[in-house]
A = this chain, B = another copy of it.
Amino acid sequence: MALVNEHFLKLPGSYLFSDIAKKVNAFKVTHPGKNLIRLGIGDVTRPLPPVCIEAMHRAVDEMANAKTFRGYGPEQGYDFLIEAIIKHDFASRGISLSPSEIFISDGAKSDTGNIGELLRWDNSMGITDPVYPVYVDSNIMCGRSGTLDENGKWSNVTYLPCTEENNFIPELPKHRVDLIYLCYPNNPTGTTLTHEQLKKWVDYALSNDTLIIFDAAYEAFIQEPNVPHSIYEIRGAKKVAIEIRSFSKTAGFTGVRCGYTVIPKEVTAASLDGQRIPLNPLWNRRQCTKFNGTSYITQRGAEAIYTPDGQKQIKETINYYMENARIMREGLKKAGFSVYGGINAPYIWLKVPEGMTSWKFFDQLLYEVNIVSTPGVGFGPSGEGYLRLTAFGQREECQEAMQRLQNWI
């Protein structure tokens, strides 16, 4: 008989956002007349930039004609997109990358989930806490996380708490770990690391031979100077870091699906006999075997983001969301809350009232002011006592939500 991968059976029954969806549906059934404002899931609401629409229409037309039709594309992505990425996202910041170091994908979630395949199942890992659930869940699936203890922590995972007490800046692990996930600007706390703070991590990785998976999905929201846009702005990072990017939030691609992963040629892991194995060709082999490239139409849409008009258009949308964030930060402060994030990220991290749990306050917001949020504990043990709100909503709804909260308090 076929035996099941027993690690899957250790997983919590459902994904955080499905639990929230169930609660919201139950509320809607029992309160049909109520006008819900959704500030929970991190999905965008503004339409795609016009340049992307035009580029995708052109690409669709190419597919209608045998002369311009495109079949299988390169599993690694088309050169036209890779070259635009290198030029705009890296060369402009003094980072030199070659085309074969970039892998276009159908989104950062796929890459974040699959990248662990390159490593042995028994590497130790570290995560900042709270964190995007995919980092831990994808590692549970291959047995790397170990077993779950009664405090909701996995035995082979080192948790690096990010709380009000340390201003959401994680401390370096006390013992070494093989693998660490960092996400900056951070989901869910909305906080960032300065150049100096990120340098500590790269230095840690260099001296401990640790591999960093750097998730930069929210890079486009950075407003302040001295916040690195790429980990490769830090000297030495090319030896120890894989960087994952996404067009989902940058340009509204959550439903179109495109992202990319950077694996510099210098990044290696060790074999059991101590050889250094470059990870770039291994990821290439993985993608060539288990992936068949991203839709041509999508890649043409993504390419358009890098035109001067595209850059202007995405900036407008990002400004729209960041103005939402400003309104929410001020509204929440006025209502008496302690708020974090929302300056270089579309997420606002809110302290729940003393003595309450995340889920309790989530329920209260849902039932008393009809606002959907995300309970912080869903992102990890140190998220308990916090709540995430996103700035991706409609302006009027953000304003209305703040009004409701101020009246309610």
Q: 1/0 per position for A40-56, CB-CB distance to B under 8 A? A: 01011111101001001
Question: From A107, which residue of chain B is reached at the shortest CB distance?
Answer: B292
Question: From A50, which residue of chain B is reached at the shortest CB distance?
Answer: B64
Stretch at the interface among A114-122, A191-199, A335-343: A114-122
Distance A69 CA – B44 CA, assembled complex (angstroms): 9
Contact: B47 with A64, CB < 8 Å? yes
Contact: A291 with B110, CB < 8 Å? yes
Stretch at the interface among A22-30, A80-88, A281-289, A379-387: A281-289
Q: A63-B255, A293-B257 are known contacts. Are A3 and B46 too (CB-CB below 8 A)?
A: no
**Contacts of A281-308 to chain B: CB distance below 8 A:** 282, 285-286, 288-298
Distance A41 CA – B72 CA, assembled complex (angstroms): 10
Contact: B43 with A69, CB < 8 Å? no
Question: From A240, which residue of chain B is reached at the shortest CB distance?
Answer: B2
Distance A18 CA – B76 CA, assembled complex (angstroms): 13
Q: A4-B270, A270-B4 are known contacts. Are A295 and B110 too (CB-CB below 8 A)?
A: no
State how many angstroms separate the Cβ of A368 from the closest Cβ of chain B: 27
State how many angstroms separate the Cβ of A319 from the closest Cβ of chain B: 16
* A72 partner, pick from B69, B134, B138, B255, beta carbons under 8 A: B255
State how many angstroms separate the Cβ of A298 from the closest Cβ of chain B: 6
Q: Which residues of B contact A366 (CB under 8 A)?
A: none
Question: From A267, which residue of chain B is reached at the shortest CB distance?
Answer: B2
Contact: A45 with B60, CB < 8 Å? no
Contact: A113 with B271, CB < 8 Å? no
Contact: A4 with B288, CB < 8 Å? no
Q: Count copies of this chain in the complex.
A: 2
Distance A257 CA – B296 CA, assembled complex (angstroms): 9
* A63 partner, pick from B3, B53, B106, B141, beta carbons under 8 A: B53
Q: Which residues of B contact A123 (CB under 8 A)?
A: 2-3
Q: Which residues of B contact A64 (CB under 8 A)?
A: 47-48, 50, 53
Contact: B60 with A60, CB < 8 Å? yes
Q: Which residues of B contact A70 (CB under 8 A)?
A: 255
Q: Which residues of B contact A118 (CB under 8 A)?
A: 4-5, 8
A316 interface residue (CB < 8 Å to B):
no
Distance A305 CA – B119 CA, assembled complex (angstroms): 40
* A48 partner, pick from B69, B73, B142, beta carbons under 8 A: B69
State how many angstroms separate the Cβ of A227 from the closest Cβ of chain B: 26
A66 interface residue (CB < 8 Å to B):
yes
Q: Which residues of B contact A292 (CB under 8 A)?
A: 106-107, 109-110, 254, 257
Contact: A2 with B48, CB < 8 Å? no
Q: 1/0 per position for A95-132, CB-CB distance to B under 8 A? A: 00000000000110110011001111111000000000
Q: Which residues of B contact A397 (CB under 8 A)?
A: none
A277 interface residue (CB < 8 Å to B):
yes
Q: A110-B290, A255-B63, A289-B134 are known contacts. Are A3 and B122 too (CB-CB below 8 A)?
A: yes
Chain A residues within CB distance 8 Å of chain B: 1-6, 8-9, 11, 14-15, 18, 41, 43-48, 50, 53, 56-57, 60-61, 63-66, 69-73, 106-107, 109-110, 113-114, 117-123, 133-134, 137-138, 141-142, 178-179, 209-211, 252, 254-257, 269-272, 277, 279, 282, 285-286, 288-298, 394
Task: Provide 18 A-B residue pairs closer than 8 Å at the C-beta atoms, listed in order of the A residue.
Answer: A1-B270, A3-B120, A3-B270, A4-B282, A5-B119, A5-B282, A8-B286, A18-B288, A41-B72, A53-B63, A57-B57, A69-B252, A69-B255, A70-B255, A71-B252, A114-B290, A117-B142, A257-B292
